[in-house]
Amino acid sequence: MTEQKSQPLTYAGAGVNIEAGNQAVSLMKQAVRSTFRPEVLTDIGGFGGLFALNAGKYKEPVLVSGTDGVGTKLRVAQLTDNHHTIGIDAVAMCVNDILVQGAEPLFFLDYLAVGKLVPERVAEIVKGVAEGCRQAGCALIGGETAEMPGFYAVEEYDIAGFAVGVVERTQLIDGRGIEAGDAVIGLPSSGLHSNGYSLARKALLEVAGYGMTDTVKELGRSVGEELLEPTRIYVKAVQPLLEKFTVKGMAHITGGGLTENIPRMLPEGVKVVLNRSAWPVLPVCQLIQQIGQVAEEEMLRTFNMGIGMVLIVPAAESAAVLQDLASRHEQAYLIGQVESGPSQVEYIQG
């Protein structure tokens, strides 16, 4: 075997650029710091984020945590080369989940894995995360960016989020008090949020043959703009209600739609009956159903259908809850009621 001289191997030569990582951190610092709350004790760059819980504010504080990703909505961001809102989705999926138990989101961490670290793109993604944190009122106190050549393609990346919140033990919302006669209130979604994108892309891109820049009359904008509409964050709409009213249960309508998520908050012996004509269905859902000839049952267990958060309150308080939301310019609908029966969702028209 002929001996050949070769250049010394380097980490950068293997596909990982440490300097690009440092540049990305520099570009995102201002956005991250804009999310800090008074309880944050550390700056960017440490090994762990420090958050001083104001224990004196609570008698029995309970920490509530959640983690989630954005799913195949990431493919839309990559196809459009538009990355400034996907971070909002990562925050929304986590903070909305812990909100349903009555928790105030305190801090958030993100994990971003990329095929090739492009500092400007990473900074754009993290600026979206920071925007989501500002909307939720929580601090972005840590994160990890991992460059993984050979695992992800050059243009590919994945993002996951982790949120921690706090609630007084006596104010935990767990659904146990839900009973027949209670009212069901729905808060509208901003779009598909971050669920059902495999089916959405199949219908819109493959069956219908739309491109991301194609403007669709039914949507009033391009396919890419519709599919990248950020997930709505419900913290500021819902938290004031928790201080004034008896909110017995909440459900964040994510994967599984209304059909699968609402029963997660129901105790044994009660069901939720939803009036399908009580709220407007998203045009994008109607379009997907039409193009794909998707069964109604499949739509209801895949997409949010225009409702992103569901609250159950005593019937006697429902009008006041709706009025409170309206006074803060928050749209809401009385979409159903609780009845005796097995823990499930039933649909009626009328």
Q: Other C-beta atoms within 10 Å of 218: how many?
A: 10
> What per-residue confidence (pLDDT) applies to 257?
97
**Residue where a domain stops, chosen among 142, 171, 200:** 171
pLDDT at 204: 97
The pLDDT score that the predictor gives to residue 327 is 98
pLDDT > 80? residue 24? no
Residue 53 falls within a domain, yes or no? no
Asked if 23 and 142 sit in the same domain, the reply is: yes
Query: Is 300 a residue whose pLDDT tops 60?
Result: yes
Which class for 97: exposed (0-12), middle (13-18), buried (19 or more C-beta within 10 A)? Answer: buried
Instruction: Give me the residues paired with residue 68 across strands.
Output: 161
On whether both 231 and 281 belong to a single domain, the answer is yes
Confidence (pLDDT) at 211: 96
Residues 209 and 318 in one domain: yes
Query: Is residue 69 assigned to a domain?
Result: yes
Say if strands 221-222 and 307-313 run parallel, antiparallel, or are unpaired: unpaired
Pair (148, 224) in one structural domain = no
Examine the pLDDT at 3 and tell me if it is beyond 70.
no
Specify whether 202 is located in the same domain as 314. yes
Task: Answer yes or no: is 176 within a domain.
Answer: no
**Same domain for 153 and 33?**
yes
CATH code for the domain of 157: 3.30.1330.10
Q: How many domains does the chain have?
A: 2
Q: Are 277 and 201 in contact (CB under 8 A)?
A: no
Average pLDDT (75-89) is 96
Q: Which residues contact 134 (CB under 8 A, 6 or more apart)?
A: 34, 35
Instruction: Give pLDDT, residue 19.
Output: 83
Q: Does residue 211 contact residue 223 with C-beta atoms inside 8 Å?
A: yes
Please compute the mean of the pLDDT values over residues 66-90 and round it to a whole number. Answer: 96
Return the structure tokens found at 60: 């029995």
CA torsion sign for 188, 189, 190, 192 is negative
Do 220 and 295 fall into the same domain? yes
137 contacts 233 by C-beta, under 8 angstroms: no
Convert the pLDDT of each residue in 153-193 to its tens digit: 999 999 999 999 999 999 999 999 999 999 999 999 999 99
Q: Does residue 9 lie within any of the structural domains?
A: no
Please tell me whether residues 243 and 332 are part of one structural domain.
yes
Mind listing the pLDDT tens digit for each residue in 238-296? 999 999 999 999 999 999 999 999 999 999 999 999 999 999 999 999 999 999 999 99
Q: Has residue 330 got a pLDDT over 80?
A: yes
Percent of the chain with pLDDT over 90: 83
**Phi then psi dihedrals of residue 96, to 5 deg:** -65, -35
Q: Is the predicted pLDDT of residue 68 greater than 80, yes or no?
A: yes
Query: What is the domain extent for residue 192?
Result: 183-348
Asked whether residue 162 falls in the same domain as residue 282, the answer is: no
